[in-house]
Amino acid sequence: MTHLEAVPYYPRNPKILAREICNLRYDAMSLLFASICSELRTDSVKDYNARKTQLAKILEDVAFACAEASMQADNAWSICEPHMKE
């Protein structure tokens, strides 16, 4: 697998990508973090099976942090949703 240095269709400036993510509604942000968590867990299992245990553990830790971010974004959404205009 080739790991990219930037997300396709975005400039190589991570601040721009971060701003775009932060402009998402919190429910969409939660889904994004949950999806990242899932992908990282998949990668972690592959690395563990390839006996890359140190990398697998770190990826699992990052996945856990993304799961936490997803839950917190859900919490933010539960506060904001009642005040959202249709």
pLDDT confidence of residue 3: 67
Q: Could you give the 3-state DSSP secondary structure of residue 8?
A: coil
Query: Quick one: how many helices (H) and strands (E) in the chain?
Result: 3, 0
What is this structure's pTM?
Answer: 0.86
Across 72-85, average pLDDT: 92
Residue 1 binned pLDDT confidence (cut-offs 50, 70, 90): low
Query: In the chain, what are the domain boundaries?
Result: 25-83
